[in-house]
Each structure stands twice: as structure tokens, then as C-alpha cells.
Structure 1
Amino acid sequence: MPKVLVTTLTTLAGVALAVPATAGQQPPLTPAQDRASGAASSPLMRPARAVRYWTASKQARATATELPRSLKARAQGATELPKSLEAPAQLRSVPEGKRITPGGDANGYAPMPRPYTATAQSRVTGRLFYVNSNGLEDSCSASVVRSAVGLLIVTAAHCVYSVPLGASAGQWHTNFAFVPAYDGQAADVRGREPYGRWGARRAWKPDSYTGMSGGDWNSLYDIALIEVGRKNRTLQDAVGAFTPIRNQGGAYTVATTGYPGVAGRQPYDGEDQLWCLAKTEPAGGIADTGTLFVSRITATSAGGRMETHNCHLFKGHSGGPWLLRGTDDLIGVLSAGTEDGGADGYSVANALNAESYGAIIKQADPQGVYDALSISASGPHRPVRRGRGSATVRATVTMRGLMGAAQVPVTFTLPAGTSLSSVNGASCKRSGRQATCTIAAVHPGSPVRLTARLRVTRRAALHPRVTAHVDSSRLDTDQRDNTSTVALSTYRR
């Protein structure tokens, strides 16, 4: 039976949900926008003001931001509230057979080992405090992401922007302060904020994200960037950063880290950093039906949303990173899932794709180089005999800059008179004189080499040309080096 996500109409502790005035209508966007790139930016903020505002006592009082209120209903197109909304459910939502986190509890989570300064996964992740558009003190999770400016953190868009109760247009949250490796159980401020408090200067979101709870919460645009102020060094220099990986979702093994918060319930009180190990699969997106409810759309049109049934989503964990297990590369940002207490818990993250993350990173980090893929092909040094000869063509795929890429397509195209024997170095499909390959991942500074073996028939030209091409996104500002051609030298006796 297909799964359905249901959005309830509720005024929440951290975020007010409002019904659109007209079905499908999106509120106007008020901040400065760059329509060409699809990015919207907040007004400039004063980092020092946020640093002063978020005292230790205010941090202790801050609530964990509420979630996009999503639940599975029994059938697609459900028109009544699910039974799970009629009475509180226990906060035990991941079946035992689906828990894969070592030491994980009934929700899939385990405490992150202290001190949080010890590993990149915990040190680069932190708690994001802010005053939401309703004037309430709130918090999400966030992490530092590699950039040229060295001052960027990534989180969910609903952690930076929402439609206040009774309003028709979205507003930016204010007074953002990021505390990397936040430890709310530490005895003093130095232990609670081992790297200090970093106030925000500006925030960005995709301009397609409206913040309307009945519309695009849970959308693939639920991702945002925040630039913090510089101190005597950059935030990236202070704690490190995760390398973003451009992707469209898929099946991965990931670790997610953050600060889930349920008042009065340790360790789910927002004071402790928790983590969860998960296996992902493509997730359906959200379509506005013009009612209180939204339904799942097909995974193929989801634009890179990933889902796991190994981890339950808790408020406060929104915006937390999804990291490739073993590399700590950032492939997604936690966005939505079951409500607190929902049965059969699951979580959804948005992939870092060119449409959402790509739109905001080019605005937030204009000097950064992203998705700069190139390919260089070479052939044999000696002539190849036509009719009985074979040749090996090697292609090297390289990524420059600050971003990696997953599932990278590479194509070999052969001229008439030649045929492919084999292609090694990636997963490939052959059809006629063409091979389409997919490289699992390409990282900056780590070239990937592919080898194509081909036969040269009697009908081959004197100098047949083999073409190798690698696909990149619009983030690649110079795609002239995405194609490389090798001219073979042949002879015939």
C-alpha cells in the first residue's frame, strides 16, 4: 500500500502553521532575490548582537524547533486524521529489526561520545539557536560545510524562514547563533561552548521554499545556508568542515548527528548530541492537494529526497547532516519524517543537488569553485593494426574545488570501424559503439581512472577518434574540459 504523508493544521511551540488563503497559492517572497539562480537572501544581520543575545540561560530555555508535521496515513488521499493523532503514542518508533546503530535505543539513536571536540562528526555539528518569525526562542541542528569564505553552515530552510501565524507571507528568523560541538550538560560556559558562539551575518534559501506549512514544508527545497561572522579565524579553521557531495539521493549508508529535543526527556532534551546509523532509499516528495493534507508523489520525481526507516526524526534534529559512513562527506540535510511519537518511525533528508543546494551556494560563496569536473583521455603510443589489433583508451575524471559528486555519468563514444571489448573502473552499460558508465563518487584531489578496451576492424579509418565525456551540473562554470577526444593511429598490412 502506498505511503502518504499527512500535514496537520496546528499552532506549534516553535513554528506556527497556517493554511494558504488559496489552494496552491504561494505567498510572495519579501527578501532580495536572484531569480536567475533561484536564491533568496535575508537582510544583513549583526553577528555580535546574536552572540550577546544567546546567553547560557536563554540557551537552556530554547525549545527545539517543531517538525514538518508528517505522518503516514493508511491510504493515499486520506481525508481523516490518522488514529495516531487521537491519543499520545510512546516515543518508541523504530522496530527492533530496523535498528542498526551500535547501542541504539528504540528510536534508533545513541549518545555521541564525549567530548564532542574529539571527532569531526561531532565537532563540525552544532546547535543553531534563533528567534523564529513568531518571536519565540528556538533551535535546530546544523553543520559547517566547506566553502571558500570558510564561514558557512548548512541547515534546513524551515530553520531560517517560515510564515508566522495569521500572516500570508514568509519571514526570516532572526538572531541566529551557532554553537559547534554544543554540550548542554557541561558545568561551565567554556565546556558548553568549546569553540564559542558564532553569530550570523546572512542566511540564504532556495526562492522556491515559501515556508508555508500547508504547502512546501517537506519540499526538496528545505535546505539553507547561513554565513556567520568572522572572529580571529574562520569557523572552518576552528572546527573543520564537511565536504558537500552533489547527488540526487539513492541508496547509501549514512550517519546523522544532531540535537533532538523533547522537553524533560533525556537524552532527548536538546542538551545532548545524539547520532543514528541508517541505510537510505529514494523517498517520494510532497504534493500540495489544496487541503490540510499532502500526499506522497513518486520517488522518480522527488528530486533527490532520501528516506530511512532506521532512525526516527525528532524536533530539534531538523537541519542535521547526513554523512556518508566512512568518509564523513555531506550528502543530505535532515528535513522531515514521522512526528514525535509516531509509530514505524522514519526520517527524510534532502540531497545536495544542483537545484536546491546549488542555487544557494553560488550566492553564499561566489568565490567558491563547485562541481568543476573535467576529463582527460589518452590512447596507445603506437599505431594499431586494423583487422587484428586492439587499443586501450584511458580516461581520467578529476574534480576541482570544494565539492564532490556522486553517481557521475561518463560516456565513451567510438567511431565507425571500432567496437568495445570492455570498460573498467566504473559500472558501465554498453550499447553498440557507446558505453555509458557511472562513477560512484569523485572527490576533489582524488581522480578516478576508467579504461576502455576496443577492437579495431578493417573498416576503421586511418585516424579514428574516440570521445570521452563527463556530465556536470550548471555549477560547473567552464564545461569545455568535460569532453576529451583521442585520435588513434592505425595501419593495415
Structure 2
Amino acid sequence: MAGGSPAGAGAAPAAPRHPAPRPSAAVRTAPAAEQQRARTFWTPERMRGATPLDLLLTRHAAKSLKTPRAGADSTTVAPTAAPASFPQAGGPWTGGGAVVPTSGRVFFTFQGRTASCTGNAVTSQNAGTVITAGHCVKYQGSWHTNWVFVPGYDNGNAPYGQWSAAKTLTTPQWEASEDINYDVGAAVVTPLNGRNLTSVVGAQGIQFNGGYNKQMYSFGFPAASPYDGTKLIYCSGNSSKDFLFSQDHSLGCNMTGGSSGGPWFTGFSESAGTGLQVSVNSFGYVFLPNRMFGPYFGDVVKALYDKAQAA
């Protein structure tokens, strides 16, 4: 219209939209004296006597459970492996291969007691990143101390040494409220005898936003009955998405306390013992025995991994 003005003319321009900053992974730095002490603290007797840190949860309700971002890009670090074969509900791993030295027991002091979990060495920029469960680095508001990773653990023996953590990390969601959907932790271990961890034991690949309902292999060092923590145990089969209260993966598995933090692999090669890590042993429902659940490795876990490998 003659003499008129365009709609909004003279109004202040709209402020550009920026996505809200994503909360950063929570980090604990272990004092140098603690790192040194941890290597001598964990004698074979203390390792054998460590209590498995159970996280067997009864989930009666869930609030604001979020699903992975639709259309998230799949991210893979390291080449894919060959497909694997038959299902296994739980038993000793006798196949050898790379999974034997990359998997290990995790030991730490938790509220005055010695405790254990499982961890796995992954491909990383710093060649010293271990992935585990969030409750294996921080639980009930307390960061664990005297934290060490013992790859290839063998009944009190440490064939590849004891690697003390310089830093332990977890997701902001686990840090804030111990949200079971984000029960993932990481550790950056210091060099040992002048060598970095993955130059000694190798490393497994890791994948993010890889989807659900795949064949999976899960590994751990369960230490609660009927297991005793002396052997690397595995489960395998077709996974599914938790249909109850979480966005996690689900797999038929009878591993017990102490297996927490152990790796889940897709594209696992039984002959080579290699795969892409896509989850960790996290929890079970007391009303649903012989089933393990593990968090989805989405963007939040990728941010945790990126922060760990750059530390």
C-alpha cells in the first residue's frame, strides 16, 4: 500500500538463535601422590578381596526419559570387525584375541572399602583412555579414589601392569542425578614404564549413535556368586531396546556384580577378539533376572569420550 511500511519495519532485529551449551563431562583429577600410591596399594591379596560394586536396581518409575536424538549421525572410531556367531548366556571367554588384554578389572576405594568393576581400553588420541560405567568412577555422590585399571587380570596377577588414573570422568547427567540412561564413565591412565596403555595392550574401536537391535557381545569380570572375579566372562546374542523404564540396550546375560563397566561390542570377531564398543554393563532389574542393561552411546557419551581422549 502506498505510503505504507513493510511489516516489522523499524523493529529491532531478532536476536540470532544459538543452541544452549551442552553440559560438560564431570572430571576428577587424582593427586600425583594418590596415583603413585594406587600402584602399590593394590596387592594381589587386595585385588582378590575387593568387593564387586553392584548396581542391581529396581526401577518402579521413570521421569523425563529422553530417547537418542532422531537422525543422529553414526560415529565410528576405528575399522569395523567381522560378524560373530552363536548366542551365549554367560560363560568363560576362551577365544583369546585382542579382547583379553584390552578388557580388565577396575579397582578403587569406595567410601572406605575396596571395590571392583570392569573396564576396556579404546582407541584414543592420548593412547590411555579406558571406558567403564559411571558408577565405577563416582557413586552416591563420591568420586572413587586409588583407581587402577588391570588389563588382562588373571586371579590376582596383572600381566600387563596396573595403570593408575590421572583423571576420571563421567557424563553430566550421571554427575547431577545418577541418571541410569547415562551411566558411563571414563578414565585417563598415566604411562607405565615409559609406555602408554594402548601401545601395550592394544585398543578396541568405539561407535556412537549406532542404533538398536543388533547382535552384541558383552564382557566383564563378575565377582559375585556364582562367579569369583578370576575369569573374563562373556555373553552374546541379539540385543533389544529396554521396553520398561530406560532408553538402554538389553541383552540376555547372567553376569553379576563386578561386571559393571565391561564393554558391549557390535561387529565382534570371535577369531580376532575385536569389535566396536557401543555400551557398558550397567544394571539389571531385580524382577527380570538373567538380563543385563547398558546405556546407549549417543552424543552425550561421545562428548565424554572426546573430553577424555583429549585430556
Same-fold call, TM cutoff 0.5: yes
Q: Residues 197 and 243 of structure 1: is their aligned pair in 2 closer, same or farther, counting only changes over 3 Å?
A: same
Pick one of 285, 288, 291 that aligns with 1:338. 285
2:108 alignment partner, SS class: strand
Equivalent positions of 1:167-182 (< 5 A) are 170-182=141-153
Structure 1: tracts of 5 or more residues without a match: 1-34, 78-98, 102-107, 164-169, 285-295, 368-493
Pick one of 40, 46, 62 that aligns with 2:26. 40
User: In structure 2, how many angstroms separate the alpha carbons of the residues matched to 1:316 and 1:330?
Assistant: 19
Name the counterpart of 2:257: 315
Confirm or deny that 1:269 pairs with 2:234: no
Structure 2: tracts of 5 or more residues without a match: 1-20, 63-85
- Higher-Rg structure is 1
Q: Do the aligned partners of 1:313 and 1:337 also contact (CA within 8 Å) in 2?
A: no
Q: Residues 38 and 228 of structure 1: is their aligned pair in 2 closer, same or farther, counting only changes over 3 Å?
A: same
Equivalent positions of 1:285-304 (< 5 A) are 296-297=244-245, 302=247
User: In structure 1, how many angstroms separate the alpha carbons of the residues matched to 2:209 and 2:234?
Assistant: 22
Amino acid in the other structure paired with 2:49: R
Amino acid in the other structure paired with 1:60: R
- Counting matched residue pairs gives 260
By relative contact order (CA 8 Å, sep 6+), the higher-ranking structure is: 2
User: In structure 2, how many angstroms separate the alpha carbons of the residues matched to 1:150 and 1:45?
Assistant: 21
Amino acid in the other structure paired with 1:226: A
| CA shift digits 1:371-413 (9 cap, x unpaired) | xxxxxxxxxxxxxxxxxxxxxxxxxxxxxxxxxxxxxxxxxxx
User: In structure 1, how many angstroms separate the alpha carbons of the residues matched to 2:310 and 2:116?
Assistant: 28
TM score, norm. by length of structure 1: 0.50
Q: Do the aligned partners of 1:161 and 1:211 also contact (CA within 8 Å) in 2?
A: no
Equivalent positions of 1:18-29 (< 5 A) are none
| CA shift digits 1:411-462 (9 cap, x unpaired) | xxxxxxxxxxxxxxxxxxxxxxxxxxxxxxxxxxxxxxxxxxxxxxxxxxxx
User: In structure 2, how many angstroms separate the alpha carbons of the residues matched to 1:280 and 1:352?
Assistant: 14
Name the counterpart of 2:121: 144
Name the counterpart of 1:222: 183
Pick one of 295, 304, 308 that aligns with 1:350. 295
User: In structure 2, how many angstroms separate the alpha carbons of the residues matched to 1:157 and 1:54?
Assistant: 21
Name the counterpart of 2:10: none
Name the counterpart of 1:70: 58
Q: Do the aligned partners of 2:26 and 2:175 also contact (CA within 8 Å) in 1?
A: no
Equivalent positions of 1:84-95 (< 5 A) are none
Q: Do the aligned partners of 2:90 and 2:255 also contact (CA within 8 Å) in 1?
A: no
How far did residue 36 of structure 1 move?
A: 4.2
User: In structure 2, how many angstroms separate the alpha carbons of the residues matched to 1:251 and 1:347?
Assistant: 14
Percent identity for Structure 1 against Structure 2: 26
Confirm or deny that 1:121 pairs with 2:102: no
Name the counterpart of 1:239: 201
User: In structure 1, how many angstroms separate the alpha carbons of the residues matched to 2:211 and 2:292?
Assistant: 14
Q: Do the aligned partners of 1:45 and 1:200 also contact (CA within 8 Å) in 2?
A: no
How far did residue 244 of structure 1 move?
A: 0.6
Greater share of helix: 2
Name the counterpart of 2:109: 131
User: In structure 2, how many angstroms separate the alpha carbons of the residues matched to 1:110 and 1:68?
Assistant: 20
Amino acid in the other structure paired with 1:256: S
Q: Residues 258 and 113 of structure 1: is their aligned pair in 2 closer, same or farther, counting only changes over 3 Å?
A: same
How far did residue 150 of structure 1 move?
A: 0.3
TM score, norm. by length of structure 2: 0.77
